[in-house]
Structure 1
């Protein structure tokens, strides 16, 4: 299950101004929020108790008490280390510890929130697609090209390219018998949206992989696979999100390979023979 910070971030984009004000305060002051009464919290934020109560119910908690308990539980969970910042005073050991905990937490949060039926639907679409394109801009292009590299080992017909102009042209060639997998951490990149809109115009099925299920990219997709992460400072390229997204791709690749075991095995064997020819032979 999502903890409170994850739930808040997943719906943040569709909150109205008062709710965003509440959300921002709770994210910044989880320790205070966990122990505060509803009146005390309303006073600190500068809003009404009714607004706090509505916000808690919006997130799925029956009462403020349930919401308060959930905040406290979130703090005690292993993912709490995930929301700490890297400080200038941190030793190298501490920095390494925080970064690895961030990656582990991203994977745990993503795994706990992925629905098997969504993954199975994605696999059905991949296998039934005439051609599949993987699309991503910036850091997400790494995930897209990683997917291309992996799915070359399957019998599927796939395309991908790191250059944005070529991505647009590839998207223009896909049709209603094809599948587009669009990857974006924020789900708000304008260039990614243009690619997705081109896919939509052509009647192509679209799967979005993003950390924000209420983002424009997610809303424009037929199926959303959510990656959960929280960035710490000094890391502008969403590294934890990349780890989670690459693992989603690994999962799809493995499920496809499992479903098409014989055909995939033949392709992998052929690939290995070709790759082996590029390697230097061992000296006897």
Structure 2
């Protein structure tokens, strides 16, 4: 987070630059001081402090402070520790877990709550109107799409996942206004997914994309005014067996499903889930 602020300083207005320099000088103090004190120390107005936070991609001062406090207190550097051929099992255990934990902590600190809020609104509205929620992914992302279907169909709405490119194109051709499609891609460069997402957008469906920032899929989605949930990590998209990326995508799906369930409300959802649980008891050994 601090590296991003430092890199962004030249592009900010002079007043916002002073706020950024105050953050870099003492991030812990910035996270704990009131807005009036921050404005005085930066020699700017209170709205400028808030404007700086929004320029950095956060919802406001409270959201910025929350992410900043987490960033400076974790003590877990986001360094991808690749597994070496001569690693012992204990080394592999530590490296794989550390990579995953670091990626999760970085996402927690960097994630745009505003983008997640838009995605949750779109999914909840689609649920309420009885329209279709679909999940597209191929390869490892196809498995994440299936997990998403498993989580969302239990909420009682219409949810389905497709991992075949032809099925994605055909299904996207049938989507329309009010429907919602979630496209999951590690690289953001898969032609089938980009084609299907383009068709869904053209037909008026809301498109939510979970992929890396700066990828072709992310750029097209943002230009079209749809929703991009950034899933950034140090793992190359061409690795044979993605680990961190898959777990990060699964976590984002968990966040979306949990938020949508809360929007639906316990009064409506709890009896549905309890009935499902009761019906599954006969499938288990006592």
TM-score of the two chains, using structure 2 as the length reference? 0.69
The residue correspondences of 1:79-158 to structure 2 (distance < 5 A) are: 79-80=77-78, 82-129=79-126, 130-158=131-159
Q: CA deviation at 1:227?
A: 1.6
Task: Indicate whether 1:245 and 2:243 are aligned.
Answer: no
Q: CA deviation at 1:245?
A: 1.0
3-state SS of paired residue (2:192): helix
Aligned residue in 2 for 1:164: 165
Which sections of structure 2, spanning at least 5 residues, go unmatched? 26-70
Aligned residue in 2 for 1:256: 260
Cα gap change, 1:277 to 1:164, in 2 (>3 Å): farther
Deviates more, 1:161-170 or 1:122-131: 161-170
Cα gap change, 1:254 to 1:140, in 2 (>3 Å): same
Q: CA deviation at 1:233?
A: 11
Aligned residue in 1 for 2:44: none
Q: CA deviation at 1:273?
A: 2.3
Aligned residue in 1 for 2:38: none
3-state SS of paired residue (1:207): strand
Task: Indicate whether 1:217 and 2:188 are aligned.
Answer: no
Give the whole-Å Cα distance in 2 for the aligned partners of 1:110 and 1:94.
24
Q: Is the 8 A contact 1:84 1:232 kept in 2?
A: no
Q: Is the 8 A contact 2:81 2:99 kept in 1?
A: no
The residue correspondences of 1:1-284 to structure 2 (distance < 5 A) are: 1=1, 3=3, 57=10, 78-80=76-78, 82-129=79-126, 130-210=131-211, 212-221=212-221, 222-231=226-235, 235-261=239-265, 262-280=267-285, 282=286
Give the whole-Å Cα distance in 2 for the aligned partners of 1:243 and 1:199.
26
Aligned residue pairs: how many?
225
Give the whole-Å Cα distance in 1 for the aligned partners of 2:272 and 2:12.
46
Cα gap change, 1:119 to 1:172, in 2 (>3 Å): same
Aligned residue in 2 for 1:40: none
Q: Is the 8 A contact 2:135 2:145 kept in 1?
A: yes
Q: CA deviation at 1:106?
A: 1.2
Larger relative contact order (Cα-Cα within 8 Å, sequence gap ≥ 6): 1
3-state SS of paired residue (1:220): helix
Cα gap change, 1:156 to 1:79, in 2 (>3 Å): farther
TM-score of the two chains, using structure 1 as the length reference? 0.70
3-state SS of paired residue (2:207): strand
Give the whole-Å Cα distance in 1 for the aligned partners of 2:84 and 2:241.
18
Q: Is the 8 A contact 1:161 1:167 kept in 2?
A: yes
Cα gap change, 1:113 to 1:131, in 2 (>3 Å): same
Aligned residue in 2 for 1:21: none
Aligned residue in 1 for 2:42: none
Deviates more, 1:176-185 or 1:226-235: 226-235
Aligned residue in 2 for 1:39: none
Give the whole-Å Cα distance in 2 for the aligned partners of 1:165 and 1:194.
10
Give the whole-Å Cα distance in 2 for the aligned partners of 1:233 and 1:126.
27
